[in-house]
Structure 1
């Protein structure tokens, strides 16, 4: 089920005395309609059934609305249109149905020329985002080279009978194998203590490129940039996903699984912007925002800043 644009979330300050150059997101965003000029399109997956299945702390289903509220008052500096295409909601425990509906919405947005920016919800959003992008690109190319860039403390490659927030990239790997596509996955910020040896072995079998959280420090930024650039050079299309638990718990407390170490926002934002600048970004999302666990909207504000850095 898809809900339409929620007007109450898009409210904020209006600086009438400063003219037309003093716009904020809530003044620029429009509800999505058919046959509109291509722009940036927000699309939410209001779901945390995947987090529940993964034995995490639920509440991420409220993430899209909290993210809209945090975005609303940010200064708008873009020129292209900005749309809100609403949220796909999870009915009961039907995670698979919600992922299917969300993926279909992503494909429609891409077919219309928009840059979709997803708002979670748990990290189960990643499988649905990739599915929507792959279906769009496979109509245009026989074997599109899609790279997955994940900022995350976890590989999310778990094996399980049901899909969850811990399985999306294993599901993507299986989809790629069936579709004859390369599985190009790069994960930045991996916590050695929060991924079992079995998950590291799975990552090695799948040729996953990764950097540990303790490696991603400001004094090591040149090496991380070179690592990222090498990954981006080998792909034609980029899907970027940001799991907010990649950040330290002191910066992002409002997540299902807070990080004891994490990667500083300064480093994450720098790399997000660098990846965006490669010109290959086709789809991005932010996952694991849990407003019920947030403090003074700290996590929501960071999520909004990162998402805003990706808007055209």
Structure 2
């Protein structure tokens, strides 16, 4: 028997072609390792536009937002607070405007990060147009607050900010439309800080760990995650942190954690989302974050990011 070559074919069943608009967000103020600001450039170099077009969607690119360099910021880089929070708030507010405008134009925005604080902009922008649920593919919970964070790095706080948890409940810029914790699902978590773990246990956020994936399989877990995220809302946002994958697959990330999903599991997960989307049109926006080319090997992580974006939009590995 002859085995067919491993190929990626378009299995979408949409009657009309959608347009994806890429929004570069070279934000690195939320992390303590430099390099993720080059992430959008690396993902473009991996030809994400061509990958998306082979998924049957049009692709346009709005370029990069202007992000202040760390050296230009006046905020003290201390670990007992949220580092550079004001600067990050300003950048993500601008990104939220871009995302909202993109959705108003009928396109699907995909923000290319940058660190995971980027999601505070993409999700806030998407939530202006409709009630949305969130699928958060990540090794980490990102549910710390300035009070609980052991590092002060804001890329470990965006989900807490978006759900208005802790000190974020008192900030004016987090009072904008965000998301309901009961429609927020973390998939693939395997490293949580102690205070973060307790906060998540007491919240309405659903957390599927790598143990759940090992025990039940990626497809079953993502289908359940989709049921939760879509319950009573108009659409979903997908937030993809590349450290969700095992470092052997995606080495170019700032906070790698062994024991993540493998290449095929990652594609299968996003194919599940795409299948549900093809029937309902539920995908409103996405972000792809934490690609660090300085730590990468031959742009491998950026290439995986580009391929996964295509799977999210309907391309399947045959």
Q: If the length of structure 2 is used for normalisation, what is the TM-score?
A: 0.76
Q: Give the match for residue 100 of structure 2.
A: 107
Q: What's the CA shift for 1:74?
A: 4.5
RMSD of aligned Cα (Å) = 2.4
Q: Deviations over 1:206-231 (max 9, x none)?
A: 21111112332386345424422432
* Partner of residue 214 from structure 1, selected from 211, 216, 235: 211
What CA distance in whole angstroms lies between the structure 1 residues aligned with 2:218 and 2:179? 31
Q: Give the match for residue 20 of structure 2.
A: 40
Q: Give the match for residue 30 of structure 2.
A: 50
* Partner of residue 153 from structure 1, selected from 139, 159, 176: 139
What CA distance in whole angstroms lies between the structure 2 residues aligned with 1:274 and 1:226? 7
What CA distance in whole angstroms lies between the structure 1 residues aligned with 2:215 and 2:179? 35
Q: Deviations over 1:270-290 (max 9, x none)?
A: 111211322211001111000
What CA distance in whole angstroms lies between the structure 2 residues aligned with 1:200 and 1:190? 11
Q: If the length of structure 1 is used for normalisation, what is the TM-score?
A: 0.77
CA contact (8 A) 2:251 2:295 kept: yes
Q: What's the CA shift for 1:104?
A: 0.8
Q: What's the CA shift for 1:83?
A: 0.4
Larger RCO of the pair (alpha carbons < 8 Å, separation 6+): 2
Write the mapping of 1:88-167 to structure 2, written as runs, cut at 5 A: 88-92=65-69, 93=73, 94-137=87-130, 144=131, 146-160=132-146, 164-167=154-157
Distance 1:42 1:218, change over 3 A: farther
> Which stretches of structure 1, 4 residues or longer, exceed 4 Å deviation after superposition?
72-75, 175-181
Number of residue pairs the alignment of both structures matches: 263
Q: Give the match for residue 64 of structure 2.
A: 87
Bigger CA drift: 202-211 or 39-48?
A: 202-211
Q: Give the match for residue 251 of structure 1.
A: 249
* Partner of residue 301 from structure 1, selected from 292, 295, 303: 303
Q: Give the match for residue 8 of structure 1.
A: none
